[in-house]
Amino acid sequence: MPPNTTATSGDKPGKSGRKKGRRARLIVLVLVLAIVGGIAYGAYWSISTVRASFPQTKGSLTLKGLSGPVTVKRDGYGIPQIYASSDEDLFMAQGYVQAQDRFYEMDVRRHMTSGRLSEMFGKGQVKDDEFLRTLGWDRVAKEEYDTKLSDSTKKYLQAYSKGVNAYLAGKDGKDISLEYAALGFINDYKPEQWTPVDSVSWLKAMAWDLRGNMDDEIDRALMTSRLGPQQIKDLYPEYPYGRNEPIVQEGQYNELTKTFEQSGSTSGSGTSTGTSGSSTSSTTGSALTSQLAALYNVLDDVPTAVGVNGQGIGSNSWVVAGKYTITGKPLLANDPHLSASLPSVWYQMGLHCTTVSSKCQYDVTGYTFAGMPGVVIGHNADIAWGMTNSGVDVTDLYLEKLSGDGYLYDGRTKPFTSREETIKVAGGTSKKIVVRQTADGMPLLSDRDDELVKVGKKASVDNAAPDRGDGYGVALKWTALDPGTTMDAVFALDKASDWSSFREAAAQFDVPSQNLVYADTKNHIGYTLPGKIPTRSSADDGSIPAPGWDSEYKWTGYIKQDELPYEYDPERGYIVTANQAVVDKDKYPYTLTTDWGYGTRSQRITDLIESKIKDGGKISTDDMRQMQLDNSSEIAKLLVPKLLKINLDDKDVREAQKLLEGWDYTQDADSAAAAYFNAVWRNILKLAFGNKLPKELRVKGQCLWVDKADGTGPVDDDTKVRECGERDADQAQPDGGDRWFEVVRTLMEKPDSDWWKTPSAGTRPKADNMNELFARAMIDARWELTAKLGKDIDTWSWGRLHRLFLKNQTLGTDGPAIVQYVLNRGPWKLSGGEATVDATGWNAAGGYGVVWVPSMRMVVNLDDLDKSKWINLTGASGHAFSAHYTDQTGKWADGELLPWSFSDKAVDKSTGDTLVLKP
């Protein structure tokens, strides 16, 4: 079973056979886990098995390979702080301790990144493995390790691996985790030794989920089967620069722009003028519908690593200068928005040298990933940093005209390079596949799905395109498929001491490109955008699939690091990053992407800061926490005044409408008004847009009667054909995010637009304009919630609809109730919502359930680091019966933060268990 973090019902395309293949194994798992849970007669065996896998956290033990003793101090939540006298001992101990808590998670992750899930879970994972082998993450990671990383980084990775393997030494599966005890009944899988490449590969999985606009690129192409160019433009409006400020307002890019303007051009070599792909639009029309839909399904089927496969990815991070804080020193907040996983994708810990010196250089604490040394987000004694996804466009899909054993390029046939991969299958026969790549290393994704080779037998293509023949292939260009230096950056960030060393470290963080915010104890704040970001010719802006047969669409290079935007100590006294535009498009010569987040969260955070500091106000650590919990609905502020003016005949619908009177637009879990408004919003989107999108974008299982001839929408009975959606509920459109806020805001100025027209359905009236559609949505919402929550609106609440379920990422995602009962947790009724600061995201096309969350929250106090606060989504442990499996979740749901000890004195005060590792 794959480590898929989505929590929705329904099978993905091509998975029905996979499900059948799981049943026999699941029957065994039911019995095993029933015993493990103490439900049957094997209570003694269950207790011994569970206890055998719990980590030793007290006393002492010998760890061969250490050069000196290491102390591991855990607080009441099991969060470890490690103290050592050398760098190698520090990272060796980190590997040992993370393996104690999370090795099963680490093992599944490395099998995912290397395309070897079938070795653990059998033939049901072969399709996933084929695709992951085609991407070749582990091959790139090995090349990265061999040729790119510094000697010191390699030394740390080796030490970390040594620590993991010291933990594994002499242990059977049941001694490591409950899941291995269960797996032992269905195959003879045994964990292998950990390697440095296993750690590096995880960075590729992180980059995959933060890869930019690939899904938008596919969606736009799919829309061409039903929508015209202006309609698609309506659904992808311009970023509102005049209303939602970009990140960098006073930074380096102004000087860069002046240089380009003085040279007489802002779109010369290596730049893009933002043509929206107009020159290739006809190439990517209805011809690509079947193959791109299949590609989307393949991409969506790849086990999710740290996000929702590109949909809904977001984060908040902001920093406030000391002149506006109570302490007189900066405050920095961060809460990355990722899909909910159990255990959490993050692992909290501290790494401390007993004496910082050239021999032992680290004194850092924060969040990292199980399976990877160092700290990814956090602070040391001098600086703090946070991250949000920049969203820059680092991927392109290329259509390839296949010709014999090669592909067409500038009128000539070039050969593919190829390699053979063998996929081993637990309990089955191995499978061999051939992976083909273009000369510049782009893997041919269409080899992994039969539909992808049918590239347009019915397509309309422009005159410049080669003959369709048997179709086009689809290849992927992605910065993460080249070896990089991000692992070097992690260690450099951990020991950076000022803005200069921070910027030098950040420059090595090439993939994925992230917004990095900065603060230090000397009262400075800053922002920098690192990353390997491609430049394109003026013919291509990366917004839709490009013709691979034309060299005009080849990447022209990469933006130089010293030309990327940054800010340092801006006069306004704060910096906000929340996936909005990095720079104003008219003030920067390069196109970073055509698909920013639309700035709803960032502008709300900005407004909250401004409201605090006006008239001399100051911001506290708790103010920062309260801002993280802000759940005000910006789309409600726009729509509710309109909704309250609509005359409704049905008294029951009017009763629901009255919930909106006097509502303050906050989306608390106990709010009936929030429940009703979000139901209205969902139905507005469905009626105005969802029912008019092609089936490839709509929710699987939701069917419409559409015109038999051209599929343009519901029509008279004698010409109807039933058409059902094909996309998983948490990936479908319209998802209701702030792009759709902007779509609706813009179309409200056109109340008679065709978008507002919808046919009648049973007793529900048709709509010919905006107000009539709003009225219809209010009616539909009333009866939807009546079905879901009951007729009595006094019992309604947002939290009853908006619930979080935490599912263990392997055996807990599918199967009988007993499996889920043992491994999964929830539900929690949550406040917050889509595109709010407290971004407990939900997909409006699919339902109200929580799809992604603030995966952690932290606030760093640069005046007194021991007064910083943090929380994780779940807990430190990956062991299902550990006290630390989900011991932070309740507080996280309530918006609480935990004390975050850093100094020796504070750590000692908070320590509950102490373990000494001896050489």
pLDDT at 47: 62
pLDDT tier at 321, thresholds 50, 70, 90: very high
- Per cent of the chain over pLDDT 70 is 82
Structure confidence by residue, pLDDT tens digits, 822-863:
789 999 999 999 999 999 999 999 999 999 999 999 999 999
Give 703's contacts (C-beta < 8 A, 6+ positions apart): 722, 723, 724, 725
pLDDT tier at 471, thresholds 50, 70, 90: low
- Between CA 856 and CA 469 the distance in angstroms is 51
For residues 33 and 186, the answer to whether their CB atoms sit within 8 Å is no
Give 138's contacts (C-beta < 8 A, 6+ positions apart): 113, 114, 115, 197, 201, 204
pLDDT at 256: 57
Distance of CA 879 to the CA centre of its chain: 24
For residues 521 and 561, the answer to whether their CB atoms sit within 8 Å is no
For residues 25 and 186, the answer to whether their CB atoms sit within 8 Å is yes
pLDDT at 456: 29
Distance of CA 269 to the CA centre of its chain: 33
Identify the bridge partners of residue 619 per DSSP, sorted by sequence position.
325
For residues 864 and 327, the answer to whether their CB atoms sit within 8 Å is yes
Inform me whether the pLDDT recorded for 211 exceeds 80.
Answer: no
Give 663's contacts (C-beta < 8 A, 6+ positions apart): 636, 640, 671, 673, 674, 677
Work out the average pLDDT over 289-317.
59
Reference 340, options 900, 899, 870, 842; nearest CA is: 842
pLDDT at 449: 66
pLDDT at 186: 66
| Exposure class string for 529-568: b at 16+ Cβ within 10 A, else e | bbbbbbbbbbbbbbbbbbbbbbeebbbbebbebebbbbbb
- Between CA 46 and CA 729 the distance in angstroms is 37
Inform me whether the pLDDT recorded for 540 exceeds 80.
Answer: no
Inform me whether the pLDDT recorded for 347 exceeds 90.
Answer: yes
**188's tokens:** 């003879």
Per DSSP, the residues of 277-325 read: TGGGTTTTSGGGHHHHHHHHHHHHHSPPSSSSTTSS-EEEEEEE-GGGB
Inform me whether the pLDDT recorded for 267 exceeds 50.
Answer: no
**Counting Cβ atoms within 10 Å, is residue 420 exposed (0-12), middle (13-18) or buried (19+)?**
exposed
Inform me whether the pLDDT recorded for 177 exceeds 60.
Answer: yes
Reference 781, options 669, 683, 658, 672; nearest CA is: 683
Inform me whether the pLDDT recorded for 295 exceeds 60.
Answer: no
Residues 48-55: contacts with CB under 8 Å, at least 24 apart: 49/174, 49/178, 49/181, 50/178, 50/879, 50/881, 52/174, 52/175, 53/174, 53/175, 53/176, 53/177, 53/178, 53/181, 53/879, 54/879, 54/882, 55/97, 55/100, 55/101, 55/877
Inform me whether the pLDDT recorded for 293 exceeds 60.
Answer: yes
Inform me whether the pLDDT recorded for 215 exceeds 60.
Answer: yes
Structure confidence by residue, pLDDT tens digits, 133-146:
999 999 999 999 99
pLDDT at 287: 38
Using alpha carbons, list the distances in angstroms from residue 482 to 142, 211, 626. 11, 14, 41
User: Pick the residue with more confidence: 36 or 320?
Assistant: 320
pLDDT at 173: 84
Amino acid letter for position 501:
S
Inform me whether the pLDDT recorded for 902 exceeds 80.
Answer: yes
Work out the average pLDDT over 694-719.
73
Amino acid letter for position 377:
I
pLDDT at 8: 35
Inform me whether the pLDDT recorded for 454 exceeds 80.
Answer: no
In angstroms, the first-to-last Cα distance of the chain is 39
Give the SS3 label for residue 447.
helix
**226's tokens:** 């039903």
The secondary structure of residue 193, as a DSSP letter, is: P
**24's tokens:** 């026999």
Work out the average pLDDT over 531-552.
84
Strand arrangement, sheet containing 525-528: 59-62, 911-918, 70-75, 80-84, 347-353, 363-368, 377-380, 383-389, 514-520, 525-528, 566-568
Inform me whether the pLDDT recorded for 242 exceeds 70.
Answer: yes
pLDDT tier at 19, thresholds 50, 70, 90: very low
pLDDT at 276: 36
Inform me whether the pLDDT recorded for 522 exceeds 50.
Answer: yes
Work out the average pLDDT over 680-690.
98
Work out the average pLDDT over 363-373.
97
Give the SS3 label for residue 401.
strand
pLDDT at 867: 98
pLDDT at 219: 82
Most confident of 307-316, 400-409, 681-690: 681-690
Inform me whether the pLDDT recorded for 668 exceeds 90.
Answer: yes
| Exposure class string for 272-305: b at 16+ Cβ within 10 A, else e | bbebbbebbbbbbbbbbbbbbbbbbbbbbbbbbb
pLDDT at 294: 60
For residues 773 and 757, the answer to whether their CB atoms sit within 8 Å is yes
pLDDT at 455: 30
Work out the average pLDDT over 647-671.
97
pLDDT at 587: 87
pLDDT tier at 731, thresholds 50, 70, 90: confident
3 state SS for 625-666 = HHHHCCCECHHHHHHHHHHHCCCCCCHHHHHHHHHHCCCCCE
For residues 313 and 338, the answer to whether their CB atoms sit within 8 Å is yes
**211's tokens:** 């890869």
- Between CA 454 and CA 452 the distance in angstroms is 5
- Between CA 911 and CA 908 the distance in angstroms is 5
Reference 54, options 177, 235, 154; nearest CA is: 177
Reference 391, options 606, 581, 591, 589; nearest CA is: 581
Work out the average pLDDT over 780-808.
97
pLDDT tier at 101, thresholds 50, 70, 90: very high
Using alpha carbons, list the distances in angstroms from residue 148 to 442, 495, 530, 559. 20, 20, 17, 19
- Between CA 98 and CA 74 the distance in angstroms is 12
pTM for this model (two decimals): 0.90
- Between CA 216 and CA 26 the distance in angstroms is 37
pLDDT at 303: 54
For residues 723 and 707, the answer to whether their CB atoms sit within 8 Å is no
- Between CA 592 and CA 73 the distance in angstroms is 44
3 state SS for 72-141 = EEEECCCCEEEEECCHHHHHHHHHHHHHHHHHHHHHHHHHHHCCCCHHHHCHHHHHHHHHHHHHCHHHHH
Reference 118, options 205, 22, 29; nearest CA is: 22
- Min mean pLDDT across 165-179, 424-438, 441-455, 889-903 is at 441-455
Reference 877, options 890, 889, 869, 894; nearest CA is: 889
Inform me whether the pLDDT recorded for 213 exceeds 60.
Answer: yes
pLDDT at 710: 54
**170's tokens:** 């002499």
pLDDT at 551: 92
Give the SS3 label for residue 420.
strand
pLDDT tier at 558, thresholds 50, 70, 90: very high
Residue matched to tokens 């001399």: 616
Angle at 390 (CA atoms; ends 386, 394), nearest 5 degrees: 135
Inform me whether the pLDDT recorded for 275 exceeds 80.
Answer: no
Instruction: Give the dihedral sign, CA 840/841/844/850.
Output: negative
Residue matched to tokens 């703090």: 384
Residue matched to tokens 């061969």: 64
Reference 547, options 619, 474, 479, 607; nearest CA is: 474
- Between CA 487 and CA 504 the distance in angstroms is 14
